[in-house]
Amino acid sequence: MNVEYFGLNHLGWIKKVYHNGIDLTDNVIDRFDEIDGIIEKDIVQFHKAIPVSHLKYYFHPDRILNKPQTRAHELLSLEEEILGNFKSGNLEQGLNLLNRRSTVWYKYIIDFIKQFMEINRRFTF
């Protein structure tokens, strides 16, 4: 997967999406409402580019501010739950909860931890 990106840090857009050299941008834009539930598909179609998730704060600050809990509080609660599982020995459940972080690079962390645990069964938290 390759993308053409423009912007700075969290204020960016993906202009093109390629997989094995095939341009999938139009497909992604057509199905954008399946990807993001906050930014409307017509905004994406108008710009002919895919906004990074942080742009939701600029397009719809009212929706974000009206949420019952901030993202930071959600993550703190999740971290507490994950660490609680690890401490009580529920390693698999703790690793599964990491998926709720919805962060791509966590997959690699989870795979590394699982491999480490298989190699060293004496590992404790």
Res. 107: pLDDT tops 80: no
Sign of CA dihedral 112, 118, 119, 122: positive
DSSP string, 57-78: HHH-HHHHHTSSS-HHHHHHHH
pLDDT of residue 121: 62
pLDDT of residue 71: 79
The ranges assigned to domains in the chain are: 2-65, 71-119
Its pTM surpasses 0.85: no
